[in-house]
Structure formats: structure tokens, C-alpha cells
Amino acid sequence: MILKAFKKAYITIKRIGRLTYPCMSIDRICLGNSTAQWLKSKNVLPSQWGLNLDRQDLILTSGITLLAFNSPGCTYLVPQPSGVLANAKAIVLFDTYVLEDAGLSSDEIIAMLLHEIGHNVHRPPKNFYNQNSIHLGSNADEELFADDLVRHWGRGLHLSACISRLASFDKTRFESLLTQERLRRIKDDDAYLTTIPI
């Protein structure tokens, strides 16, 4: 009986807390800024789904998490690795549908995966290249450094073939100054950004 009353009081306090503090919002099921930003840009944040508090509670207590996936590949950094992911500090996600439909060869898929790995093991120092690459977009130095890992590891030409194939598969996503610059650098043996050992 006392336990029941406690439970009821706890749920009431939790609900009042959620109404009072926006940080308790169901939107916290969005993992990473890019997930929340994309959902917000489409007006589909979980708080905009019109769910009543019971349904929000069900989602929250079930531990559901939303994570945007950027095709053809992206990396999710695991903040506190544990359980089956105990050794997973970063998870590389890749889109099998796009990789198959774009007709990538085995070598090109390996180059693409190494590029994603490069994002995690060969990161540019802050603002390393920004002053030169600002016209290419804010993530240019990240992309170029990830490409450099693939080049240093002897798969540069497979990477350029991979990028070209993806670009003809999906013109709107890959037609950019950055794509052109990446292809130019990969083919130019001397165009290394850095002597940082890989």
C-alpha cells in the first residue's frame, strides 16, 4: 500500500518535472546534434508528434534512442562503451543498399570503410586547414584528413574510383567543390596536408 502510494507520488513528480523542465522532454531520445537538427528542420522532433504523456513515458522507459544515419557511411562515437559494445568506442555504419546499387567493387568498399575509420584515427588539429578550405565547407579538413589515411595506406585510387562511382550514382549529394577537391588531391601524389604520422 505504502509502496503503491510512493510509486504514484514518484510518477506525479516525474510528470510535473517534465512539464516544468524542457530538458526532461521526449526530445532527449535524439542522439547527437545532427539527429535533433535534422528532425527539427523537418518539424518532426518527437515533441512534435502529438504523443500524450503516457506514450512519451512508454518510449522513454523503453530506452528508445533515435540516431540519424548519413549514407553511404558515417560513424557513431559511443560515449560510454559497455556490455556487448565494451570495446566499441566508435561504430562505423554503412548503407549496404547504396553500396550495392552504386556497383562498388570490393576494393572500393574497403577504401570507403577506411575513409570512415580515418575520421576516427586521423583527425585534423582544430582549424588546421580551415583558412585554406573554408570555401569547401566547414567539414572539409575532416574529409581531407580521412582521405589522407586511405592514401597513406595505399588505397587512394580505389577511393577516388569509389567517390566517382558514388557521384554518378547520386549526383545531387556528391556534386560539390569538396568532392572535386578530394578527387584532385587523391590523384596528386604531392598534395599531402600534413606530416602527422598515420
Say if residue 51 is exposed, middle or buried (CB neighbours under 10 Å; 0-12, 13-18, 19+): middle
Given the complex with Zn ion, which of 29 and 163 has the nearer CB atom?
163
Beta carbons of 49 and 59 less than 8 angstroms apart = no
Given the complex with Zn ion, which of 143 and 181 has the nearer CB atom?
143
Q: What is the Cα–Cα distance from 148 to 180, expressed in whole angstroms?
A: 15
Q: Residues 107-146: x/- map of binding to Zn ion (CB under 5 A)?
A: ------------------------------------x--x
Cβ atoms within 10 Å of 97's Cβ, excluding its own:
10
Given the complex with Zn ion, which of 25 and 180 has the nearer CB atom?
180
CB of 10 to Zn ion, least distance (A): 45
Region of 170 on the Ramachandran plot (φ > 0 left; ψ -120 to 50 alpha; else beta)? beta
CB of 191 to Zn ion, least distance (A): 17
CB of 115 to Zn ion, least distance (A): 6
Q: How far is CA 162 from CA 67, 115, 198, in A?
A: 26, 11, 22
The DSSP call for residue 89 is S
CB of 67 to Zn ion, least distance (A): 17
CB of 65 to Zn ion, least distance (A): 23
Given the complex with Zn ion, which of 146 and 150 has the nearer CB atom?
146
Q: Residues 158-197: x/- map of binding to Zn ion (CB under 5 A)?
A: ----------------------------------------
Q: What is the Cα–Cα distance from 124 to 63, expressed in whole angstroms?
A: 34
Given the complex with Zn ion, which of 39 and 149 has the nearer CB atom?
149
- Helices assigned H by DSSP within 102-139: 106-121, 130-133
Q: Residues 140-159: x/- map of binding to Zn ion (CB under 5 A)?
A: ---x--x-------------
Region of 154 on the Ramachandran plot (φ > 0 left; ψ -120 to 50 alpha; else beta)? left
Given the complex with Zn ion, which of 39 and 146 has the nearer CB atom?
146
Residues at the contact surface with Zn ion, assessed by CB under 5 A = 143, 146
